[in-house]
Amino acid sequence: MKNLPDFEAIDKEFSYSGSLGTVYSSESTVFNVWSPVADRVEVRLYESARSELPFSQLEMSKNRGVWSTEVRGDLHGVFYTYLVTVGNETRETIDIYAKAAGANGIRGMVVDLSRTNPTGWEKSSPVLLESYTDAVIYELHVRDFSSDESGNFKHRGKFIAFAEKDVTNQNGDKIGLDYIAELGATHIHLLPVFDFQTVDETDPNAGFNWGYDPLNFNIPEGSYSTDPNDGVCRIREFKELILAAHKKGIGIIMDVVYNHTFDTENSPFNKTFPHYYYRHNKDGSLSNGSGCGNEFASERSMAGKFIKDSLCYLAREYKLDGFRFDLMGLLDIETLNRCAEELRKINPSIILYGEGWTGGTCPIDEGLRGVKKNAVKLPQFAMFSDDFRDGVKGSVFNDMDCGFVNGNSSHYIKELIKSTVSAGIYRDDVDRSTDKCWTDKPQQCVNYVEAHDNLTLYDKLKCSMGGKSEEMVIAADKMAAALIFLSQGIPFMQAGQEFLRSKGFVHDSYNSPDSVNSLKWNDVSLHRKVVDYYKGLIAIRKRFSCFRMRTAEEIKSRISYEESGGGLAVHIDDFVLVLNPSERVIFCEIKGRAEVYANGEKASEMPLYIAESMVEVNPRSIILIRLL
């Protein structure tokens, strides 16, 4: 059993609300680090990221837990570390508040952030939204975007590949950022782009990783820059990515992982203040609700402050449009709400959402954490709907399990689809045995069937629909897409979902090679009809606000359901969406005439044709009509 300090008492006595890290000016730099238990703290200054020895080592003075010193002169480009002594042990560490670093994040770098701005940065601004439900989110990994040879990118796997213009695949079709803009995505969700630990930034041939292994939260990942030893380079090139997206009217959402760090004992947090930043069980052992060896103790005053400070810095400096929180169920509600309040002061349109679950048990009372069942306590946060995901395609934990589009016609699944089409809002006309109602407004529900983890939708359908034709698998895929974009809530998709992306049936490709993870851009040409179908559905959603309702009251009063020839008819104002999950054609009578906007083959924001008296819905497909 560890003899841990009384962290509550430390918080009461030593909590600090001021600036930490470096405060730079051309005349001097002030260094501030919080470590009330330290007996001595020094700052070491290095000429470069690779210098063997510091050129200066200065003692810092302590004031109520904060160690500080001021160094005269312009220190832009100077690298630094802290030497922290606690008891008989002295350890060197990067500043947990560092904004720049050299290769592999070993040393921080003092940076004049004005020198990191690319040309035109001052004109860049976040994307404005009236509501989260106006967003169409496209999840993407930086390296996946440009690593495959099917795209003629010059800077494969790098931030600045996003800024390249007129990029095509081997068939001459448009790809890259231009393609994403034309598809209709409003936001790109980037998998972790902070400085993570498991990729050697000095090795051009280093292995792949998703990046859910945090090292330095406020510094962009060096392996995505053209020069990881240059602290300015990675910042400028990440800003170039954001600038390029903003010019296309696309927002950038950053995937953040504040629930754990990759290392524990040797992490910068533990070197700065042993044990403080990590959550423990009653016996003193580390809690492991992340499944990664530790949990960040967000409920402690200065740990919560770090999360808030980090988010606000990133939002302000990088003009970010949103944050996606990994395992948000491990973060405390009070900290999350405080962060949301501060972030909205910076960007009123910022999108905040996350995983409303954990990777294991957590010692903090569930009622105090950001889990899905507490969504109403987190009014500014959306959460992924695993009910939608599993209801549409079947459980992600069983490859053969089926959902609504691939063969499960049970009463439970049909009732679940009714609930999820209404964004998880409580409805009297949904069988309470499903009881999957967890939101009180549609802005809190992220609808998805595919993300970076688990099988891609196409791979899942191939597994669960064994023996079915490729035509039938594609029909099920398009039906799933219709549910994503025509349901209430926030639509979310993984990059490449629209061209039947496969990862060769690899479940969690976090460290699989580029051959598995990369976007195969030639598939845009191969599956152009499916791409156009997704594009058409997105256009329909954007044109008609009834698919983007703002309140629970609207959803309850303007949406109704009825069984229709074995399918499900969803009435949305003067629209009717008929879902046919069966393997036979169904016919639906209509009164008078109707405009058809989508069927099993095409989708468009303009009517495809006019139907009279009857509509035909092909197997595993939909039809969307507007009554005249």
pLDDT in tens, 553-565: 999 999 999 987 7
How does pLDDT run across 6-26, given as a tens digit for each residue?
Answer: 999 999 999 999 999 999 999
What is the enclosing helix (H) or strand (E) of 336? helix 333-346
Determine the pLDDT at residue 412: 92
Q: State what percent of residues in the chain have pLDDT above 70.
A: 99
Determine the pLDDT at residue 623: 97
What 3-state class would DSSP assign to 580? strand
Q: Is 355 a catalytic residue?
A: yes
- Please name the residues in contact with 256: beta carbons below 8 A apart, sequence gap of 6 or more: 192, 194, 217, 310, 311, 314, 323, 324, 325, 326
Q: Is the pLDDT of residue 313 over 60?
A: yes
What 3-state class would DSSP assign to 1? coil
Neighbours of 583 (CB within 10 A): 12
Average pLDDT in the chain: 96
The pLDDT confidence band at residue 415, using thresholds 50, 70 and 90, is very high
Q: Is the pLDDT of residue 431 over 60?
A: yes
Tell me what the mean pLDDT of segment 275-296 comes to: 95
Q: Is the pLDDT of residue 1 over 60?
A: no
Q: Is the pLDDT of residue 435 over 90?
A: no
Determine the pLDDT at residue 564: 76
The pLDDT confidence band at residue 326, using thresholds 50, 70 and 90, is very high
Start-to-end CA span in the chain (Å): 73
Determine the pLDDT at residue 262: 97
Lowest mean per-residue pLDDT among 50-64, 467-481, 488-502, 564-578? 564-578
CA distance 590 to 599: 15
Tell me what the mean pLDDT of segment 212-220 comes to: 98
CA distance 236 to 411: 54
The pLDDT confidence band at residue 434, using thresholds 50, 70 and 90, is low
Q: Could you tell me which residues are beta bridge partners of residue 603?
A: 598
Instruction: Name the pairing type of β-strands 490-494 and 89-93.
Output: unpaired
How does pLDDT run across 346-401, given as a tens digit for each residue?
Answer: 999 999 999 999 999 999 999 999 999 999 999 999 999 999 999 999 999 999 99
Alpha-carbon torsion 311, 144, 164, 183, what sign?
Answer: negative
Displacement of CA 283 from its chain's centroid (Å):
34
Q: Could you tell me which residues are beta bridge partners of residue 28?
A: 72
How does pLDDT run across 161-196, given as a tens digit for each residue?
Answer: 999 999 999 999 999 999 999 999 999 999 999 999
Neighbours of 526 (CB within 10 A): 15
Sequence-ordered alpha helix ranges (H) in 55-199: 142-146, 176-183
Lowest mean per-residue pLDDT among 34-48, 564-578, 594-608? 564-578
Q: Is 326 a catalytic residue?
A: yes
Is 592 in contact with 628 (CB distance < 8 Å)? yes
**Phi, then psi, of 322 in degrees rounded to 5:** 175, 170
Sequence-ordered alpha helix ranges (H) in 95-191: 142-146, 176-183
Tell me what the mean pLDDT of segment 211-221 comes to: 98
Given the residues 42, 263, 355, 415, the one annotated as active site: 355
Given the residues 326, 415, 450, 459, the one annotated as active site: 326
Neighbours of 342 (CB within 10 A): 14
Tell me what the mean pLDDT of segment 95-108 comes to: 97
pTM for the full predicted model: 0.97
How does pLDDT run across 518-533, given as a tens digit for each residue?
Answer: 999 999 999 999 999 9
Neighbours of 544 (CB within 10 A): 18
Determine the pLDDT at residue 591: 87
What is the enclosing helix (H) or strand (E) of 519? none
Lookup: tokens for 98: 């560092």
